[in-house]
């Protein structure tokens, strides 16, 4: 195993939602060391201007590069939409994967003929039309339907995952999509995998495959590391280092809900 294989995978998000990506990578690649950066002091990015999102994303990229990461996963849909080219340029020879690309590829593969694809995400992700462009670049015959669902993030953070309010909210946002009988629906926000079961229930008679891009990017990471002979083959359980720019109230509870397990140590490392 090359010494570089022992280097960590860097994963970042505007806040704690990206821990759903950490969870998926841990499950797929349990021997990898992972460094996570969540910009909790400045979350949410989804309502900020594109130039602000770019500036923040580059600050985090610089932080991860100083940590000698072997690859960078952009776990934030807003950053993938607004700044993925900027992050790639800054990262140079370090490969960068992002959730938009991963979700797009998975949606196109979901069914024999995925012709009608839905995307849900934050206002910024949807307004940027990144998923739409990403899908049409792969295949211009597809039809893409997009919808911003800004209430799903606060619902996830309140822990209202499967009550009457979350079901009504999902119905309010997805009624049109159910009527259209889409082939695939991309969960284009790192918080949304928490509602995967409820969304699948709501769409159950429409034949729509629900795409969890956290799972998709974990699979792409395995392929990338294998191809570049960078898989950590030490056999030891990987180390997880969690950095945040601020430690908000209820952070521990929320982080553990997203990560799906206990989180022992969190370091506060502001970027400004």
- In the annotated binding site for substrate, the residues are 13-14, 45-46, 77-78, 190-191
| Under rule CB under 8 A, residue 223 binds a second copy | no
Q: Does position 153 bind a second copy by CB under 8 A?
A: yes
The site for a second copy, by CB under 8 A, has a size of 30
Crossing angle between the packed helical segments 19-28 and 213-227, to the nearest 10 degrees: 50
Contacts of 2 (CB under 8 A, 6+ apart): 229, 230
Using CB under 8 A, which residues numbered 50 to 109 contact a second copy? 52
- Report the C-alpha gap between 9 and 18 in whole angstroms: 13
200 φ/ψ angles, rounded to the nearest 5 degrees: -65, -40
Residue 95 or 248 with smaller CB distance to a second copy? 248
Counting contacts by CB under 8 A, is residue 150 touching a second copy? yes
Q: Which is nearer to a second copy, 158 or 201 (CB)?
A: 158
Active-site pick, 53, 76, 144, 153: 76
Residue 76 bears catalytic tag: yes
Sign of CA dihedral 233, 96, 101, 209: positive
Length of the chain: 272
Cβ(177)–Cβ(70) below 8 Å: no
Which tokens hold the place of 194? 């928490």
Binding mask 6-45 for a second copy (x = CB under 8 A): ----------------------------------xxxx--
Name residue 209's beta-bridge partners: 184
Handedness of CA 56, 60, 66, 68 (dihedral sign): negative
With contacts defined by CB under 8 A, name the span among 131-139, 168-176, 204-212, 234-242 that binds a second copy: 168-176
Question: Does 257 participate in binding a second copy (rule CB under 8 A)?
Answer: no
155 binds a second copy (CB under 8 A): yes
What's the CA gap between 142 and 123, in Å, rounded? 22
Instruction: Give the one residue of 157, 198, 209, 212 binding a second copy; rule: CB under 8 A.
Output: 157
Q: Are 122 and 77 in contact (CB under 8 A)?
A: yes
Residues that bind a second copy (CB under 8 A): 40-43, 47-49, 52, 123-124, 127, 150-151, 153-155, 157-158, 160, 164-165, 168-169, 172, 246-250, 272
Catalytic residues, by residue number, are 76, 189
């Amino acid at each position: 195993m090359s010494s570089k294989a022992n280097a960590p995978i860097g994963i970042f998000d505007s806040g704690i939602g990206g821990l759903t990506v950490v969870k998926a990578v841990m499950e797929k690649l349990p021997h990898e060391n992972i460094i996570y950066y969540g910009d909790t002091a400045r979350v949410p990015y989804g309502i900020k201007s594109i130039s602000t999102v770019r500036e923040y994303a580059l600050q985090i990229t610089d932080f991860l590069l100083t940590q000698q990461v072997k690859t960078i996963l952009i776990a934030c849909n807003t950053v993938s939409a607004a700044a993925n080219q900027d992050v790639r340029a800054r990262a140079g020879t370090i490969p960068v994967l992002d959730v938009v690309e991963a979700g797009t590829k998975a949606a196109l593969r979901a069914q024999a003929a995925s012709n009608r694809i839905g995307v849900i995400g934050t206002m910024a992700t949807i307004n940027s039309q990144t998923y739409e462009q990403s899908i049409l670049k792969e295949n211009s015959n597809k039809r893409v339907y997009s919808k911003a669902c800004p209430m799903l993030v606060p619902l996830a953070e309140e822990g209202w995952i499967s009550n009457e309010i979350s079901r009504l909210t999902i119905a309010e946002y997805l009624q049109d999509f159910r009527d259209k009988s889409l082939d695939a629906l991309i969960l284009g926000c790192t918080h949304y995998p928490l509602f995967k079961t409820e969304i699948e229930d709501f769409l159950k008679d429409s034949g729509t495959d629900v795409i969890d891009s956290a799972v998709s990017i974990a699979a792409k990471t395995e392929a990338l590391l294998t191809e570049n002979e960078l898989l950590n083959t030490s056999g030891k359980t990987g180390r997880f280092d969690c950095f945040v720019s601020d430690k908000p109230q209820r952070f521990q509870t929320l982080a553990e809900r997203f990560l799906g397990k206990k989180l022992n140590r969190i370091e506060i490392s502001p970027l400004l």
